Structure 1
Amino acid sequence: MGLDMLQRQQYLYSCVHSVAEIQKDVEYRIPFTVNNSTISVNILLPQQFPQEKPVVSVYPPVGHHLVDSNNGTMISSPLITNFGMHSDLGKVIQSLLDEFWKSPPALMSSSSAGFPYGLYKPAGIPPYPAQAFHYSPHHVGPGQTPSPGPGPVPAPAPMSHTGVDMVHGPPRAAAPYGLITDLPLPVPTGESQAGLNGHMYKMPEIPETFPELPDMNLNQLSDMSENEDVLLEFFVRLPQFKQVTGDKEELIGSIVDMAKKNLQMEPQLEDKRQEMLNKYEQLTQMKTAFEMKMQRQHELSESCSLSTLQARLKVAAHQAEEESEDTAENFLEGGIEIDEFLTSFMEKRTVRERQRCLCGCKRAERLLLMHSDG
């Protein structure tokens, strides 16, 4: 298994969000519900995947054109049989699920479903080491029957009566791949699968045998097999069940305490939120003021540019020259005395010459700047 396999597994997670990892890098399960029945699609990846094709099956056995009619579990779709190195596992599984949705499979009768795991395992795939995984505890209310005791799923072992369970009574078909369908979906316990808060619950060890059972007589065992209340009472007395129940109550208490702390922090959060809104409003006002000042600075810069000053000096010089000419004409017409004429005329001519000189200096400075920039 290399990077190519990892990419295909990641694509499987991206295409099918309800996938659960049963055994790391080996086995995956996808539950889906059709016609009020829950069906599990099991995906087994061989060690040489993707060079070798994955093994895909369903449980419980169903009747469908994509499923082998001999056993009702192995998917014989061309998407699986033609799987190659460059096939996308996520797209293949999603296509199978879409086909199941379009054409819902029909559940087979329990009498035809007793196929052990060994019959489905393809030849050439070496056995994988057994890996235990824990089940999520379910809340049991009054009058409800809990699921069988939580614990790791043992490897399938040969039984004297195929598909018969001593505790549950009536014959029951063996689940493929050693899965127990009556139990809730397993929760992976790898370090990478820890909870959102980093907490990982370790289920108590479940013994393979119960020491209380050999001490019971046949009537007691039959009563337990036929009466769910007796079976429930037996499970309630188990120390593992009591431990799980106590841990659940403790977890509920810690959740309640955390919720109370969160509620106590609500005023602080609201204050911080209001403070952030005030800061944002202040930032908006400062930004508006800054933009207005930048606009004003741009206008002042334009009004004091060399070209603007030169144009103003030219206009002022032209006005001074016109005023001096008017003064001269007025003197020639006898409108003013000679002393007044000399004072007014010389003043306007002096202003005109200064402005013409400044205009020339500004022009020379502008040319020098243009030359230096060039």
Structure 2
Amino acid sequence: MNWFFPLSKGSGPLPPLNSLQQQRQRQIESLKAAHPSLAEIQKDVEYRIPFTINKSTISVNILLPPQFPQEKPVVSVFPPVGHHLVDSNNGTMITSPLITNFGMHSDLGKVIQSLLDEFWKSPPALMSGTGSAGYPYMYKPPYPSPAFHYGPRHAGPSQTPPPGPGAAPSPAPLPHPGVDVPHGPPRAPAPYGLITDLPLPVPTGDSQAGLNGHMYKMPDIPESFSELSDMNLTQLSEMSENEDVLLEFFVSLPQLKQVTSDKEELVASIVEMAKKNLQMEPQLEGRRQDMLYKYDQLTQMKAAFETKMQRQHELSESCSLSTLQARLKVAAHQAEEESEETAENFLEGRTDIDEFLTNFMEKRTVREVLKSPSLPQQKSQRGEAATVYKHPRTISPQSLDNKALSSVLWSSGLGVSSAQLLKRNSRLYRG
């Protein structure tokens, strides 16, 4: 689609909008905000607003020139109308002072709204005429339309001017778009982007739609009645003067009998359908109660689900990675303090070596495990701790001299020397 929307060759970001482009965007946003029914024909260039007055749909076309809002917008209407705000020559171009005096500080949305308000106060009148002869502004496009060709809008009975001595004959049907035919005198080009050949819906005469959308085909009405042809002048005069005779003849027509029969069948079908609807009323009421009960269940389940979701959110927050890391740091710090306190009690002589080995090794092992940042490191450090800190049951207190005990305490991070242990033993001996 690059031939419709050409892309820039560069792949970098778009350049920033200048002040004129920013003002253009603000005017377009004002137009969109003021008119929700706005249709975008071409982005940032052409817009259309349809509105209906007196059962006639009129489109207001807004064309923004390249230097807008420095240049005035081009506002036109279609179909051509007669109004004091519209040019009387073509009936499409709006020549209101709001448009001719449009400036940089004007508000496009408010200007268009003022035009629509004026149209509502003083409704425009559609220009009369059918075919291209009635629209001197229409022009032949330089290329045939690729879509289906539609004829011009047909004027209603109230819009058809009375025939006069100088009235032009009705135009012939439009040929295929590929056929080139003369278009009469030269015509001024229509406004840019104006669609001039939209069709009007034509109601069908052989069918009528009811309120429920069903179609009923009326019986064919003959152009002449053979029964009247067989009557003499006296009978015809009597029928013309006596309404009862005319009504009797009218009722005896087969077309009216067909309509009456169809009416009776339709009434019977309506009565039958009404009876079926009444029979289904208890079932529908039961379904309605079931639906209300299930709706209450749905409301309760929704409330319970929201409560559980809130609980799940709280639990997930309490078990998040940052929370677990903080708890591990606190537990590791607490285990380290307890192990240091156990070592101090042992050095002060308040505990014997059996109690020291039991408590100290356990606290230091827990501390090393809690300081590991991840589970694989926890597993590996558990193995290392098992090799460094042997279980108290595997260590004999008699097999530990001062040097060996000092090595265990030093590897534990306490930095206790053999001299300190000798000092402890001498203090215990003097005691």
Give the TM-score category using the shorter length.
0.3 to 0.5
Relative contact order higher in (CA < 8 Å, ≥ 6 apart): 1
Greater Rg over alpha carbons, structure? 2
Provide TM-score, normalisation by structure 1.
Answer: 0.44
Provide TM-score, normalisation by structure 2.
Answer: 0.39
